[in-house]
Amino acid sequence: MRTFNIKTPDKTIIPALQDKIDNLTKPQGSLGRLEELAIQIGTIQQTLSPRLHKPQNIVFAADHGIVVEGVSFSAPEVTAQQIYNFVKGGGGVNMFARQHHFDLKIVDCGVNADFHNLPGLIDRKIRKSTSNYLYEAAMSKEEMERAIEIGVEIVDMTFNEGSNIISFGELGMANTSASSLWMTYFTGIPLKECVGAGSGLNSQGIAHKYNVLKRAMENYTGNHTPEDIIRWFGGFEMVAAIGGMLRASELGMIIIVDGFIMTNCLLAASQLHPEVLEYCIFGHQGDEAGHKLVLEALHAHPLLHLGLRLGEGTGAICSYPIIESAIRMINEMNDFQSAAVTKYF
C-alpha cells in the first residue's frame, strides 16, 4: 500500500504568530478559538499571513454489503437515488456548498448501480458494493489500495485547481456500521457505545444493528493490524476518504473534518500516519451516538454542535465561515501601533 510522507509542521513559528495576534487591537485572548485556528493554520502554512483558497468538498459514494442484514433504516437503493439528486444540485450538501462557495465533487467508488457516464459524477467505481463483512472481508487488499489511490487522485485534482482547504463527505447506506466497528477497534470503546441510529433506526433497530456488528466481530479472522481492520469492515468511499485525508496532509492542505463517519475515517487514517491530525480542524459534533466519544478519543474540539447527522460533508462546510473569520482576524485587523491605539492589557 502507498506510504505517505506527512511532515509535522514546524512549531517554531508559533511564538511569532502568537505575538502578531496579541498585538492586534483587542484584549489579549479575546477572540478565543479564532486565535487558536489562526495559529494552527499559520503553522501549517508556515506564514504569519495565512490564506484560504478555493475550498472544496469531496463526496465519496459507495454501497456496503452488510446492508442486507437490516442495519440501516434507509433502503439500499437510496445511495444511487441520492447520486442523481446531488448531480442535479438538490442535496443538502449542494445547498451548503452554494452558500459557502465550495466547489463540490461527487465520486462513485462503488455504488450498486450503473450511471452511464452521468454528467457531474466522477466515475471511479471499484465494483458494485463491498462484500458482506458478517461473513468475509469487505474488500481485498488490492481493492483497498485502489480506494486509497482514488482518494489521492481526487485530492491531487483539487490541489491542482488551487485549493488549499478541503473537506470530505460520504454517501452510502450502512456506513455508520463500518464506522462503529473501526471506532471500537481503534479506541477500545465498547461496541455498544459506538452504535447509533444512523439514518433513523429506532431502539429495536439499534439493538439489531448492534447484534449484527457483534457477530461480525466474532466472525473476524484477520490479523488485527490497522490495515486489515480497515479493509475487512470498511467501505470503498470510506477508504477513499482515508487516502484523500492522507494525501491532503502530505500536500500541506487544511482538512475540515465532518461528522461521525468522517471522524472515524480520520481515526483510521491516524492509525496509519498519526501526523495527519496536525492538519485537521473538526467542524462539528453530530448527534450520532458515539461521535462525542470518538472526538474525545482524538482530543478534538469541534467548532459547532448543531445536532447534525446528515453526513455528506455538510457540518464541515457549515463550520467554514468560522475558519474564514480566523484568517480575516490575523490578516485584516490593525495592530496597536498602526492604529495608534494604546495597548489596554
Task: Identify the sign of the CA torsion 305, 307, 312, 317.
Answer: negative
Tell me whether residue 312 is one of the annotated catalytic residues: yes
Angle between helices 236-250 and 260-272 (to 10 degrees): 60
Phi and psi (nearest 5°) for 311?
A: 80, -150
Annotated active-site residue in 35, 275, 288, 312 = 312
HEC profile of the chain = CCCCCCCCCCHHHHHHHHHHHHCECCCCCCCHHHHHHHHHHHHHHCCCCCCCCCCEEEEEEECCHHHHHCCCCCCCCHHHHHHHHHHCCCCHHHHHHHHCCCEEEEEEEECCCCCCCCCCEEECCCCCCCCCCCCCCCCCHHHHHHHHHHHHHHHHHHHHCCCCEEEEEEECCCHHHHHHHHHHHHHCCCHHHHCCCCCCCCHHHHHHHHHHHHHHHHHCCCCCCHHHHHHHHCCHHHHHHHHHHHHHHHCCCEEEECCHHHHHHHHHHHHHCHHHHHHEEECECCCCCCHHHHHHHCCCCCCECCCCCCCCCHHHHHHHHHHHHHHHHHHHCCEHHHHCCCCCC
List the strands of the sheet with 280-282, edge to edge.
121-123, 103-110, 56-62, 165-171, 254-257, 280-282
Q: Which residues are the active-site residues?
A: 312
